[in-house]
Amino acid sequence: MKIDVLTTFPDMLVPVIESSIARIAAEKGIVSIEPHDIRSFSENKHGKTDDYPFGGGDGMVMTPQPLFSGIRHCLDNVKPEKPRIIFPTPDGVPFSQDLAEDLAQEPYLLMICGHYKGIDQRVRDVWVTDEISIGDYVLTGGEIASLVIIDAVIRLIPGVIGTLDSALSDSFSHPLLDCPWYTRPEVFEDLKVPDVLLSGHHARIETWRQEERIKKTRERRPDLYHKWLSEQKKD
């Protein structure tokens, strides 16, 4: 998968791209992520990328010209058949594991990082295929949101993490939230691992894990719990 990211802060992305799961995916030749500075596409002699909103109001809006040019530049290099062009924005559709799984099937993604009030609506109308919110809160810019989406997507591509099966049993891939996990030692500062996990009895361990998943989901996410419950009743 190739991921281009249009941003006015490419330096914000580099430390994450050069560490984390993104570096592992790049070293394995599975994913390459390239930040592009939106300013470098600006035809303004000062590299300006924002202006005052028509109709008045506080704050600035990112202008269409550098974004149209940046998008065309990225698409011309890759020539993807049906590019998914993603604009992370608080007024987008909520990001979810289902959407991450859908995006993980794509050979190419282009992310646009907004700032200020956001980007000129014409960029959204002409180019953007997916407007995605990472949560009901407002960040200063789209870089962190893009990194959240990229991380969630690339870990689902086969070969990126050692055990894809493990990722597929995580919360949200599984209908219930994840159960508690323990590792060595059996006792740490008088805190003991639950006996059942040391029993070697696989059926009992699975029953315990499922009970823990149900308990946690019922307490923390009644919406998911009731959805799961109604699926159980159908089966």
Residue choice 15, 138, 158, 189 for contact with ligand SAM (CB under 6 A): 138
Spatial contact of 180 and 215, defined as CB atoms under 8 Å apart: no
> Which of these, 59, 83, 88, 58, lies nearest to 71 by C-alpha position?
83
Task: Write down the least CB distance from residue 162 to ligand SAM, Å.
Answer: 30
> Which of these, 16, 36, 2, 24, lies nearest to 148 by C-alpha position?
16
Q: Which is nearer to ligand SAM, 62 or 154 (CB)?
A: 62
Task: Write down the least CB distance from residue 145 to ligand SAM, Å.
Answer: 4
Task: Write down the least CB distance from residue 63 to ligand SAM, Å.
Answer: 13
Long-range contacts of 65-68 (CB under 8 A, 24+ apart): 65/41, 66/38, 66/39, 66/41, 66/42, 67/6, 67/38, 67/41, 67/112, 67/119, 67/120, 67/123, 67/127, 68/123, 68/126, 68/127
Query: In angstroms, rounded to a whole number, what is the distance separating the alpha carbons of residues 3 and 103?
Result: 11
| Peptide linkage before 158 cis (omega within 30 of 0) | no
Residue choice 12, 99, 139, 193 for contact with ligand SAM (CB under 6 A): 139
Listed in sequence order, the residues at least 6 apart from 114 whose beta carbon sits closer than 8 Å to its beta carbon are 62, 87, 88, 89, 141, 142
Judged by CB under 6 A, the chain residues 36 through 55 that form the site for ligand SAM are none
Residue choice 2, 39, 48, 117 for contact with ligand SAM (CB under 6 A): 117
Site string for ligand SAM, 71-110 (x = CB under 6 A): -----------------xxxx-------------------
Q: Which is nearer to ligand SAM, 42 or 217 (CB)?
A: 42
Residue choice 35, 64, 66, 142 for contact with ligand SAM (CB under 6 A): 142
Q: Which is nearer to ligand SAM, 10 or 88 (CB)?
A: 88
Listed in sequence order, the residues at least 6 apart from 52 whose beta carbon sits closer than 8 Å to its beta carbon are 60, 61
Nearest-10 Cα torsion for 65, 67, 69, 74: 180
Residue choice 47, 80, 141, 175 for contact with ligand SAM (CB under 6 A): 141
Task: Write down the least CB distance from residue 170 to ligand SAM, Å.
Answer: 21
Interface size with ligand SAM, residues (CB under 6 A): 19
**Segment interacting with ligand SAM, rule: CB under 6 A, options 6-14, 138-146, 179-187, 215-223:** 138-146
Contact positions vs ligand SAM (CB under 6 A): 88-91, 113-115, 117-118, 133-135, 137-142, 145
